[in-house]
Amino acid sequence: MKRIESLKNERVKKWKKLHTKRGREQQGLFLVEGEHLVEEALKSNWLVSTIITNTTISIPFSGEVIQVNDSVLKELSRTETPQGMIAVCQRKELCQPADLTGVYVILDRIQDPGNLGTIIRTALAAGATAVVVGTGSVDVFNDKVIRSTQGAFFHIPVYEGGLEDWFNAFEQAKIPVFGTSLLEAIPYSEVEKTSQFALLLGNEGDGVGEEWLKRTNKNLYIPQNPKAESLNVAVASGILLYSLKSDLATKD
Amino acid sequence: MKRIESLKNERVKKWKKLHTKRGREQQGLFLVEGEHLVEEALKSNWLVSTIITNTTISIPFSGEVIQVNDSVLKELSRTETPQGMIAVCQRKELCQPADLTGVYVILDRIQDPGNLGTIIRTALAAGATAVVVGTGSVDVFNDKVIRSTQGAFFHIPVYEGGLEDWFNAFEQAKIPVFGTSLLEAIPYSEVEKTSQFALLLGNEGDGVGEEWLKRTNKNLYIPQNPKAESLNVAVASGILLYSLKSDLATKD
How close A195 comes to chain B (CA, Å)?
14
Q: Is the dihedral of CA B180, B185, B190, B196 positive or negative?
A: negative
Q: Supply the pLDDT for residue A252.
A: 36
> Residue B250 above 70 pLDDT?
no
For residue A206, how many C-alpha atoms fall within 13 Å in the half-sphere facing its CB? Answer: 14
A9: number of Cβ within 10 Å: 15
Rounded CA-CA distance B191/A159 in Å is: 36
Q: Supply the pLDDT for residue B16.
A: 97
How would residue B252 be classed by pLDDT, with cut points 50, 70 and 90? Answer: very low
CA-wise closest residue to A148 among A8, A51, A3, A36: A36
Q: Which residue has the higher pLDDT, B251 or A247?
A: A247
Which residues on A lie below 8 Å from B228 (Cβ)? 121, 124-125, 152, 155
Lowest mean pLDDT among A26-30, B125-129, B227-231, B247-251: B247-251
Helices A113-125 and B233-244, packing angle to 10 deg: 60
Rounded CA-CA distance A185/A51 in Å is: 49
Is-contact B16 B75, C-beta < 8 A?
Answer: yes
B186: number of Cβ within 10 Å: 12
CA-wise closest residue to A39 among A107, A1, A100, A89: A89
Is-contact A30 A89, C-beta < 8 A?
Answer: yes
Is-contact B150 B171, C-beta < 8 A?
Answer: no
Rounded CA-CA distance A91/A27 in Å is: 9
Q: Are B118 and A232 an interchain contact pair (Cβ–Cβ within 8 Å)?
A: yes
What tens digit of pLDDT does each residue of B200-243 get? 999 999 999 999 999 999 999 999 999 999 999 999 999 999 99
Q: Reduced to 3 states, what is the DSSP secondary structure of residue A207?
A: strand
Tell how strand B2-4 and strand B130-134 pair up.
Answer: unpaired
Rounded CA-CA distance B137/B146 in Å is: 14
Is-contact A38 A85, C-beta < 8 A?
Answer: yes
Strand order in the sheet with A103-108: A158-161, A130-134, A103-108, A197-202, A177-180, A218-221, A186-187
At A111, the amino acid letter reads Q
In the 8-state DSSP scheme, what is residue B207?
B
> Residue B169 above 80 pLDDT?
yes
Which of A191, A229, A235, A237 is the best residue to mutate to test the B interface, defined by the most B CB atoms within 10 Å of its own CB? A235
A5: number of Cβ within 10 Å: 12
Is-contact B119 B212, C-beta < 8 A?
Answer: no
Q: Please give the residue of chain A at the shortest CA–CA distance from B118.
A: A232
Confidence (pTM): 0.95
Q: Are A226 and B238 an interchain contact pair (Cβ–Cβ within 8 Å)?
A: no
The CA-atom distances, in angstroms, between B220 and each of B39, B40, B191, B213 are: 38, 34, 9, 10
Q: Are B224 and A251 an interchain contact pair (Cβ–Cβ within 8 Å)?
A: no
Q: Supply the pLDDT for residue B249.
A: 45
How would residue B81 be classed by pLDDT, with cut points 50, 70 and 90? Answer: confident
How close A122 comes to chain B (CA, Å)?
6
Detail the DSSP E strand segments found in B19-119.
29-33, 48-53, 64-68, 85-90, 103-108
The low-confidence residues of chain A, meaning pLDDT below 50, are: 249-252
Strand partners, A160: A133
How close A228 comes to chain B (CA, Å)?
5
Q: Are B232 and A151 an interchain contact pair (Cβ–Cβ within 8 Å)?
A: no
Tell me the average pLDDT of chain B: 94
Q: Supply the pLDDT for residue B93.
A: 83
Smallest Cβ–Cβ distance between B228 and the set A125, A225, A228 belongs to A125
Rounded CA-CA distance A187/A189 in Å is: 5
> Residue B251 above 70 pLDDT?
no
Smallest Cβ–Cβ distance between A231 and the set B125, B127, B224 belongs to B125
Q: Supply the pLDDT for residue B159.
A: 97
| Alpha-carbon Rg for chain B in angstroms | 20
At B9, the amino acid letter reads N
